[in-house]
Structure 1
């Protein structure tokens, strides 16, 4: 229900404006008073410079010119008349120039009398020097005596009056300076007093305003804290009718609406929670929710059943403690580190095997990160999918392939021997068409025997029945052997086949024949798809506890759509250079490398070549 409230005249806005307007007026007064004193101080300083500086400068220059004229008279007496008269005339003009400027700048009482005395004395000084010049032509001794008795006293008298003119102006400057200093002091203290008053008023008003604003805000903060704790029975009390009071009333209305909203949606939230739990509980696949510490936060019944426990018995335990599987633990750890679901190159690597008495159950696992908005991963959902039936079907398929291959091997051998016998006995009795059909039959028998042999090999490897003779061998030895087996074919196609293995490379723990077979198979594939004048290079490098062995060529490369499936069974790249084959060679290579504890992959760019790389562990 809305209440109609009258607006109070003293709103918070008006209080703030009036209070700070008062402070602003004081500041303006300080500024105006400062400007007035600055003008007065400027005028005093200007008076010091304009009224007295010119007279002081004139006095200084007149003294300097007079002293130079006296020096010129002495030069004249020392019988340097030309130089002396020249110097005297130059300084006479300079003296009269500055005397004229002094006459034009009379501003002090008594200054006019001093300048008049200087003027009269200087006229007499010029007359005395003229007389001295006349006497000097007839009697130099009398001229010297005249200098000491008449000229020099006149010089001293004029110089004294010039000094007096300078001093009277200097004293006036000092008086003006003291006056300016007094003005400055008065300005400082007046500005300081008014400024201090402004600060005191401003601070006092700020504290008063802060109290008016902060008190209800503190009440709102305390109420908000209670609301965050789930207590909606709070109310902020405020007696003021300004904006703060209105905010308090609005806050109280908001709290009431939140309380109503909570009560309205609590049942719906609980219903959704129960629905989600029911959905997760009904999923046949196992779901495990883990936090950043890899501890189990939640688990559905299907996942708990995998470990023969109830969900409540597993929550809070570490993932490794429950699963006891290092691969699954490392996978979850990497998923948290990279904040993505880690995809393994080996599709069969992410499999959890659980022993159930005499049987085994197999579960493929994957991870889905849970983000908190745009922040980092807060938890991870592990999905465990039961693939026991698929594994069993794969085993049955492998057994069927092996059995069928064994059953086909014997009749194929008989058919092959029969065709060979026919070719030996009847070759001269058959026409060309019959001979061609017999040769085709012989080639097809050989192809089928090779396919059956490959099928038997891959079935043995998958079933773990292919024996491996592990030994410490040098990488250089197996590369050299593989190259020697196919060197002739490479030379016939004019393809450069070489290997580069560092001499300090550690030995590997491997079955020499099986790894050599992998290398020869990879080289043979490169020979099929590399043109004349191309190259095939074998290389090896040490990376941690693994040796990386690579076969690189500059052939036609592998189309991108085949690169992810190239190691699957019966996959063949369909290009113009496809030269037949069973499509099992790379699949066998993959199984042999896996049996050695390594991995194999390809880097290829269509039209520029391919690099097949596999890893083998270093011999301890």
Structure 2
């Protein structure tokens, strides 16, 4: 039977109980009303008739009105005969009255009163009998109603106690089953023996749990295997790896990270990272997003080591799922870089001596006391002189590079006129620009103030920017070199109209050794050295570029 039918049946039962009790009460009340009505209608009226006739007899006269009133009452009594023997008594009353009209003696009056008393006695007995009958009816009604009320009360109480449980218990069991499924207990089953909607619900629930159980067991082994493989890969990495969830709780750390943090794995995994960072300086540094890609110096493997931090934000459907921090060991590259810097510094110093000797020999050859040179020899001498000067400039730049990479930049700060820096730089690259038919256009604001700068290194920066602009500009184009004042700074600009730089490379263009995929011959050091030189002079360097339209490099120096 369906739940709907059971609910209807239960409500119909309660309705039937109400109707039964109401019907029985109404029935017995009507019976009591009828009994009372009979007493009033039959016996009381007869007593009133008898009493009226007795009153007339007590004041009897031969007046016509007295006789008429008595006869009227007697006639009413003759029509209200209801008790056994009352008819005969009434007939006797009629006879005695007839005789009384002929003989009004006291003896005949006594007989007439006796006849009236007989009728009154019969009606009084009737009242008593009918009253007893009414009492018995009331008692029976009370007993019946009590019995039916008790039976209905017991049935209703049983219904009230059991029926809600019939509805609530399956719902309670279903709720418990859903909670178990939520806790991934897919072995949970519902056992409803009924064939109603609850039975159908239990069947559907059990099917769902069975499918979830099959899915869980079919994928669990694979998931566990993949998890173990990923953990093995992460633990075998030479770089430190730390995984965080969206709430900055540590999900995993590999062996390298555990050693570097010097904290037990159990004290890391599952804990809130900022809480651990309160007493762990390295983790605090790793969580600090402001540090960016700066090198981190750590004492590891019984020596000073260098690392770079990379942060990877994990997202899905525009929702942040967590973050992975990767600490890459660049100590070997740092050592190679330092060795290279020392090598370049050594070679540069060593080259300066022979180059100076060559220049001294060139001066001697130019002296006519040594001998006169013909025109071809003089031209060769000029070429040798130019090349030796260029070689001397290169060694100077190499020494500048070693200063940058060692962090020991030597600056000669002085007041310099911006236009002199631009003139020197443009003249240095003029020949290279002419070979590509590129026009160098200089735009200078009037009354530019002097800047606080190292003239030689600033000119080198501008030459580097111009050289790059020429390299990436098409033939028959132009490059604009300008300088303007902005507040307490002078901003130098080099604008070309070449192919431009993709937006994803703009932030990395000043990183050491970085080169765009389409870059032409270069070491990736020029812009990195330029940034170091500018920042050492309390300036700033940046770039703006649009692919297909060209690039504009800026650097600012203080007035």
TM-score band by shorter chain is: 0.5 to 0.7
Q: Which residue of 2 aligns with 1:185?
A: none
Matched residue count: 384
Q: Which residue of 1 aligns with 2:441?
A: 495
CA distance in 2, matches of 1:258, 1:228: 11
CA shift at 1:350, angstroms? Answer: 3.6
1:429 counterpart SS class: coil
In the alignment, does 2:174 pair up with 1:220?
yes
CA shift at 1:285, angstroms? Answer: 1.5
TM-score by length of 1: 0.50
CA distance in 2, matches of 1:325, 1:541: 42
CA distance in 2, matches of 1:411, 1:215: 102
Q: Which residue of 1 aligns with 2:304?
A: 360
Q: Which residue of 1 aligns with 2:420?
A: 484
Q: Which residue of 2 aligns with 1:247?
A: 201
Q: Which residue of 1 aligns with 2:534?
A: 593
Contact 1:415 1:445 in 2 (8 A): yes
Contact 2:500 2:550 in 1 (8 A): no
RMSD of the alignment, in Å? 5.1
Q: Which residue of 2 aligns with 1:310?
A: 264
TM-score by length of 2: 0.54
CA distance in 2, matches of 1:277, 1:573: 34
Where do residues 189-208 of structure 1 align in structure 2 (5 Å cutoff)? none
In the alignment, does 2:202 pair up with 1:236?
no
In the alignment, does 2:313 pair up with 1:369?
yes
Where do residues 499-514 of structure 1 align in structure 2 (5 Å cutoff)? 499=445
2:334 counterpart SS class: helix
2:373 counterpart SS class: coil
Change (3 A) 1:558 1:463: farther
CA distance in 2, matches of 1:298, 1:400: 42
CA shift at 1:313, angstroms? Answer: 4.0
2:262 counterpart SS class: coil
Which stretches in structure 2 are left out of the alignment for 5+ residues?
A: 8-163, 431-438
| Max Rg structure | 2
Which stretches in structure 1 are left out of the alignment for 5+ residues?
A: 1-9, 17-209, 335-343
CA distance in 2, matches of 1:502, 1:293: 54
Change (3 A) 1:549 1:522: farther
CA shift at 1:217, angstroms? Answer: 5.5
Contact 1:281 1:302 in 2 (8 A): yes
Q: Which residue of 2 aligns with 1:435?
A: 378
CA shift at 1:443, angstroms? Answer: 1.6
Per-residue CA deviations over 1:218-249 (Å, capped at 9, x if unaligned) read: 64333111222244554434454355532321
Q: Which residue of 2 aligns with 1:393?
A: 336
Where do residues 327-476 of structure 1 align in structure 2 (5 Å cutoff)? 328-331=286-289, 349-356=293-300, 359-371=303-315, 373-425=316-368, 428-432=372-376, 434-468=377-411
CA shift at 1:415, angstroms? Answer: 1.1
1:392 counterpart SS class: helix
Moved more, 320-329 or 397-406: 320-329
Contact 1:223 1:234 in 2 (8 A): yes
Change (3 A) 1:615 1:392: farther
Change (3 A) 1:241 1:502: farther
Higher RCO structure (Cα 8 Å, ≥6 apart): 1
Change (3 A) 1:232 1:484: closer
CA distance in 2, matches of 1:458, 1:296: 42
CA distance in 2, matches of 1:234, 1:583: 65
Per-residue CA deviations over 1:177-218 (Å, capped at 9, x if unaligned) read: xxxxxxxxxxxxxxxxxxxxxxxxxxxxxxxxx999998566
